[in-house]
Amino acid sequence: MNGDDPQRNARMRRVPPPGRPGVPPARGGAPAAGDPQPPRIEPTQVLRRDGTSGPYPPPLAYSQVPPAPVPPRMPPRKPSQARTHAPTQRPVPHHEGPPHAPTQRPVRYGEGPPHAPPQQPRPYREGPPPPPPPPPRGERPPRAPRPRRKRRPFRWFLVFLLVLVLAAVGAVVQLDGSLNRIPALANYADRVGNTPGTNWLLVGSDGRGGLSPEQEQELATGGEVGPERTDTIMLVHVSESGKTTLVSLPRDSYVSIPGQGKDKLNAAFALGGPALLVQTVEIATGVRVDHYAQIGFGGFASVVDTLGGIDVCVPKPIDDPLAGIDLQAGCQRLNGPQALGFVRSRATALADLDRMNNQRIFMAALLKKATSGATLANPFTLWPLATDTAKSLKVDDGDHIWDLARLGWALKGETVTTAVPVGGFADTDSGNVLLWDKDKASRFFDALAKDQAVPEDLLTR
């Protein structure tokens, strides 16, 4: 209660304020005379502001009491800390904690908070780069750098190998198409059966086809002399397991020619061409011929000149105006015309026998140079050699360029060079002829027919 407001105090005591009618005097004082007596207030009455009294209002039920208004809830205020000034602080790096706090490792992208289990990093997706700024006027915009190509040497090696293989296949097809094919291996009644190994009949003819008069004079061919004849006849036996055997068959050999009787071997070629010559050789030797190759004067000289000449050791001096040569004994290099005269000449003591020996010597030197590494590795020599040889050769209808390649490879290896065993000479209606030793020749060709090595006593060096 407030002691300064008597009316308020009286209301609170339910006593009328002093100085008003019906209000009793203060404690310890008596009512003054003549003062009106205040009305008696029953305990169940209350004095109103207008000075009247009345009964208490009936008490309200609990459910009728209006709820007290609830003030809005405000967050508690932190007690303000009175500070005169803040202490000086140093800048803290982004990866460091507050002063006096332990230094922590920066959290990487994809990792959780400290002391949390590691998380799998999410793939980083880089957005497109910002466009370059426009170049100043008058200046050319810089060119974007080209991406560096990965070097793939193995791929280029495969491409090079493929091109090389295709070029080789094309060259082989072209060479095979340039061969001159003739029907040389004709079938006939009672022909010799197949024999083991592979047998070639190599023929060097005196054909002058395609030669100009100047070339005939340079090669000393002697002009046109009638039907084409053979100056060189060789039988090559390529064994399946042994050495290759090169056998010279003298052109003056006196043999039986089917349908013509007995005559010189080269007469079969003049009378019936390659087919009759092959038949005559098969009947005389008992060896079946599997392949046939023939070369003329011009082709022979061209092959030698393409190789740049052939180094030959001439065993005896040869002076033969008919062959156009004058050679001294000893090793020397022969050009095309000289090589042709060397294998044709019979101007020696043993005539045809010396010529066969010279032919074998030259054949070995020719094959050695043609199959050497220097020739095979030089395309400027190998290609002209192959084209000249293919154009100059005549082969059987069933022969191909790869058959000739196998023959050259076989002759490149260890080869036995010999001649048919000779029994002597004789004068006949066909002129002076060469006779074979029947017994030795039979044993000789029987060994070849069985693909066996020729006995040493039958070889002629």
- Encode pLDDT of 122-176 as tens digits: 666 667 777 777 767 766 766 777 777 666 777 888 888 888 888 888 888 888 8
For 26-49, write each residue's pLDDT tens digit: 454 555 555 556 555 555 566 666
- Does the structure show a pLDDT above 80 at 271? yes
Q: Is residue 319 part of a domain?
A: yes
What does the pLDDT read at residue 294? Answer: 92
What does the pLDDT read at residue 138? Answer: 66
Q: Is there a contact between 250 and 265 (Cβ–Cβ < 8 Å)?
A: yes
Higher pLDDT, residue 139 or 328? 328
- Does the structure show a pLDDT above 60 at 272? yes
Q: Is there a contact between 347 and 318 (Cβ–Cβ < 8 Å)?
A: yes
Q: Is residue 407 part of a domain?
A: yes
For 203-259, write each residue's pLDDT tens digit: 988 765 556 667 666 666 655 555 567 888 999 999 988 899 999 999 899 999 998
**54 sits in which H/E element:** strand 53-55
Lowest-confidence pick of 202-216, 274-288, 324-338, 438-452: 202-216
State which residues form the domain around 204. Answer: 181-458
Report CA Rg, the chain.
66
Mean pLDDT, rounded, of the chain: 78
Q: Is residue 366 part of a domain?
A: yes
Which residue in the block uniquely carries the two structure tokens 């193995």?
154
What does the pLDDT read at residue 241? Answer: 85
Q: State both tokens at 80.
A: 């303000």
Which residue in the block uniquely carries the two structure tokens 């020619």?
257
Q: How many CB atoms lie within 10 A of CB 270?
A: 18
Q: Is there a contact between 344 and 231 (Cβ–Cβ < 8 Å)?
A: yes
Q: Is residue 296 part of a domain?
A: yes
3 state DSSP class of 424: strand
- Does the structure show a pLDDT above 60 at 334? yes
What does the pLDDT read at residue 345? Answer: 86
Lowest-confidence pick of 69-73, 88-92, 373-377, 425-429: 88-92
Alpha-carbon distance of 343 to 368, in angstroms, equals 17
- Does the structure show a pLDDT above 60 at 359? yes
Q: Is residue 279 part of a domain?
A: yes
Burial of 242 (0-12, 13-18, 19+ CB in 10 A): middle
Q: What is the CATH number of the domain that holds 293?
A: 3.40.630.190
**Domain count of the chain?**
1
Q: Is residue 9 part of a domain?
A: no
What does the pLDDT read at residue 430? Answer: 87
What does the pLDDT read at residue 65? Answer: 59
3 state DSSP class of 278: helix
Give the whole-number percent of the chain exceeding pLDDT 70: 66
What does the pLDDT read at residue 223? Answer: 52
Calculate ∠ Cα 441-419-316, nearest 5°: 145
What does the pLDDT read at residue 234? Answer: 92
Model confidence band, residue 414 (pLDDT cutoffs 50, 70, 90): confident
Q: Is residue 115 part of a domain?
A: no
β-pair type (291-295, 198-205): parallel
Instruction: Give the burial string for 147-184 (b: 16+ CB within 10 Å, else e).
Output: eeeeeeeeeeeeeeeeeeeeeeeebeeebbebbeebeb
Q: Is residue 293 part of a domain?
A: yes
Burial of 286 (0-12, 13-18, 19+ CB in 10 A): middle
Q: State both tokens at 399.
A: 């022969």
